[in-house]
Amino acid sequence: MPNDLPDGFHPETIAIRAQTERSGNREHAVPIYMTSSFMFDDAEQARAMFADEIEGNIYTRFSNPNSNELIEKMCLLEDAEDGLTTASGMAAVFVSLAGILKQGDHVVASRAVFGSTHQVLTMLLPRWGIKHTYVDTSASEEDWEKAIQPNTRMIFAETPSNPGLDLLDLQMLGQIAKRHDILLNIDNCFATPFVQKPSEFGADIITHSATKYIDGQGRAIGGIIVGRKDIVKELRFFARHSGPAMSPFNAWIFSKSLETLSIRMEKHANNAMHLAEWLEAEHMQHLESVKYPYLKSYPQYNLAQKQMKSGGGMVCFSVKGGLERGRAFLDNIKLCSLTANLGDSRTIVTHPASTTHSKLSIADREAVGISDGLIRISVGLEHITDIKNDIASALKSSQH
């Protein structure tokens, strides 16, 4: 595990200085431990490790120095007790659900969730007798209370939501979960711990797609779960025996990327704020709406100010003209990337209705605000003027 750091360091420093113990080679940067297994000193040590009597690396499907370092950093950043890594963000979401829930359990979930998460809740978990109830993001505290059943084991939510950027009141959800003695599971992918910390509001489990902002350059796939130690112990057992292990190489990439996450998120948010204000001020002739949590016109502006340190790096807008105009906009983009990823150093434009959320029915998409003309912008680190010029040109060209 990484060396212990003295108390009092800021998160930015922790993300850089928390590090696996140096080897006899005195390396400055942590090496990549590309090994499938680890040696034992003797038979007794092997027995004791397999019996969980002593800690240590046995097999990379279980743990690895690179994933251990990444976990420790994320626990420090998220104020969590323990964690584990997975092969992808969706593996993290699935493990955080399937590793705890059992036949007959019930989940209360925000209706506005990522498309694959929707498939897990509606198509996969029901195979094992696990049911769910969706609650709208606009629902009141009373509505959330009404959704809870005697067999409810967990509340699951992502905030801000993907792709509509709807917020959920984390303090309210934490209080509800505590009153009913159920788990609160928050997907913090869009925000990262440098924008919000769900643990401050009572989250027991926090999931991340490390593929997104944690990597930040679109290179590697991975997921992270952190949370309460007793819960993570159950999740680790499930992951250890079902096998969604993160590659040591990817863990090394993510851990190194955490060193710049704070300054990247600051720049992402700064660019996103400028873009959202500019769209709202100068291009509403092309748009039905613009959404960004730190815009004063944003319906949940006060909540964003309360639980987020910035508005994050995602902007959404809906073009006038629906599906045809949305596709025409994407076809006229020149600088920005047309891909389904997000959180990259490069600005990415995505049309959720035909890509990331295409498996949802029209009714399900409409219920979470995914119109045919909705465009999701993952605002990158390029110069903001170049980003704006590309979007302005595409908006103008798409109206013909």
Ordered mean pLDDT values, 10 residues apiece, the chain (400 residues): 65 89 87 96 96 94 96 97 98 98 98 92 97 96 98 98 93 98 98 98 98 97 98 97 97 97 98 98 95 97 98 96 88 94 96 73 74 92 97 91
Is 91 in contact with 244 (CB distance < 8 Å)? yes
Cα–Cα dist 69/139, whole Å:
39
Q: Is the pTM of this model over 0.75?
A: yes
The closest of 189, 120, 122 to 161, measured between CA atoms, is 189
Residue position matching structure tokens 């038979």: 43
Is 114 in contact with 236 (CB distance < 8 Å)? no
Q: What is the pLDDT of residue 1?
A: 39
Q: What is the pLDDT of residue 370?
A: 79
Written as six digits, the tokens of 90 are 């969706």
Domains, the chain, ranges and CATH?
11-258 (3.40.640.10), 261-398 (3.90.1150.10)
First-to-final CA distance of the chain: 59
Q: What is the pLDDT of residue 369?
A: 75
Cα–Cα dist 336/334, whole Å:
6
Is 240 in contact with 105 (CB distance < 8 Å)? no
Q: Which residues pair with 183 in a beta bridge?
A: 154
Q: What is the pLDDT of residue 293?
A: 98
Q: What is the pLDDT of residue 6?
A: 61
Q: What is the pLDDT of residue 2?
A: 43
Rg, Å, the chain Cα set: 22
Written as six digits, the tokens of 151 are 């067999």
